[in-house]
Homo-oligomer: A and B are copies of this chain.
Amino acid sequence: MSPQLPPFKHFFELRVYYEDTDMGGVVFYANYLKFMERGRTEWLRALGVEQAELAAQTQRAFMVTQLDIRYVKPARLDDLLQIESQVTRMGRASLHFYQTICRQGELLTQSNIRVCCVETVNMRVVAIPDAVRSKFAVTIQE
């Protein structure tokens, strides 16, 4: 009996629109961060965590506290992009992601992102709620 593999990696696909490009004819450098945020949000949703609900019910949110990104090749209008997200470490209050953006197997960007759990009312860092933590646990490869 083969157990179902845990979701180590999350895939999400999106389209590049006019709004994402700049006069250089390529995606504006800040907008790749929007794409990665969509990827993390869809990964949370796939685990059963809706962030609007999380904020309303537990006054908790996730906030990016650090990131690095390497821009390898530019994305362009009409491109269909694949966002791949992976949790590389989970702390008491933080999550570390590794995310890439690809276009049909061609690497466009790669990024390490640290996200912290904060109280929405004062942005102070707090422990990730247990109910959320247990959902994350299955996604981490040991």
Using a CB–CB cutoff of 8 Å, the interface residues on chain A facing chain B are 15, 17-19, 21-26, 28-31, 33-34, 37-38, 41, 45, 50-53, 55, 61, 63-71, 74, 76-78, 120, 123
Whole-angstrom CA separation of A63 from B69 in the bound complex: 13
- Counted per complex, copies of this chain come to 4
A-B residue pairs in contact (CB < 8 Å), sample of 15: A18-B23, A19-B30, A19-B34, A19-B37, A21-B22, A22-B23, A23-B25, A24-B55, A53-B78, A64-B71, A65-B71, A66-B70, A66-B71, A67-B68, A68-B69
Interface of A is mostly: mixed
* B residues near A63, Cβ cutoff 8 Å: 24, 29, 71, 74
